[in-house]
Amino acid sequence: MQGKFFLTFIFSMMLFFQSFTKVDEVHPYHVGSVEINYNAKSKSFEITGRFFLDDLENGLGKKYGNSFHFNDEKYKARLNEALEKYCAEYFKLKADGKFLKINYVGYEEDSESVNIFLESETVSSPKKLEAAVSFLYNLFDDQINIVHMIVNGDRKSEKLTYPNRYLYRQF
């Protein structure tokens, strides 16, 4: 159990220390986290991805050949469109052997990070969960994505390091 919280702690500390660097400096870590949480009431997975703001801007820019800027209202529509396409390509989810349709809900930003919100179609009490998570692999060959899967209160976490993108867990 401590290992799961340690990974979350590490990501939080990297965000904290990154706040002390100059805005134009590149941070030395390329890490994000993805939480895949089954909501038994809605019978769907609620997915939250958290990434460094500058990494996500650069990843979208490299993928789509445009300039993207969070914390600037005039880019909001372009960001929503790009994030929806980006998430569809770099995140896949299967429950009990069936691919789930994933809907982009939106994003929320602060000065250093961006939270991306997704939701799956409904599924009844999943026992097997498979995910393909490759956010920012198009930008960094040292990207780490910490993935938390939670089904009925049972939390399982794993660190995916480029190029590994697949995670499989039984609940």
Query: What is the chain's pLDDT, residue by residue, as a tens digit (171 residues)?
Result: 555 454 445 555 454 444 444 444 566 789 999 999 999 999 999 999 999 999 999 999 999 999 999 999 999 999 999 999 999 999 999 999 999 999 999 999 988 999 999 999 999 999 999 999 999 999 999 999 999 999 999 999 999 999 999 999 999
23 in a domain, yes or no? no
Domain count, the chain: 1
24 in a domain, yes or no? no
Quote the distance between the C-alpha of residue 2 and its chain's center.
Answer: 21
Quote the distance between the C-alpha of residue 61 and its chain's center.
Answer: 17
- Domain holding 108, by residue range, is 2-18+30-170
Separation CA 94–CA 101 (nearest Å): 9
Please, which contacts does 68-75 make with residues 24 or more away whose CB atoms are closer than 8 Å?
70/109, 70/114, 71/109, 71/111
118 in a domain, yes or no? yes
The model's pTM is 0.84
25 in a domain, yes or no? no
Say whether 32 sits in a helix, a strand or coil: strand
